[in-house]
Amino acid sequence: MITVNLNQEQYQLNNESSVQDFINHIQVSSNGIAIAINQQIISKANWNKQKLQNGDSILIIKATQGG
Q: What is the pLDDT of residues 10-44, one digit of tens each?
A: 999 988 899 999 999 999 998 999 999 999 999 99
What DSSP character marks residue 64? Answer: -
Domain spans in the chain, listed from the N-terminal domain onward: 2-62
Average confidence score pLDDT of the chain: 92
Q: What is the pTM of this model?
A: 0.85
- Give residue 14's pLDDT: 86
The set of residues, in sequence order, having a beta carbon less than 8 Å from that of 56 and lying 6+ positions away, is 2, 4, 5, 37, 38
- Give residue 33's pLDDT: 94
Collapse the DSSP code of 25 into the 3-class scheme (helix H, G, I; strand E, B; otherwise coil) and give the result: helix
Residue 47 has pLDDT above 80, yes or no: yes
Residue 50's H or E segment, with its range, is none
CATH class entry, domain 2-62: alpha beta
Residue 67 has pLDDT above 90, yes or no: no
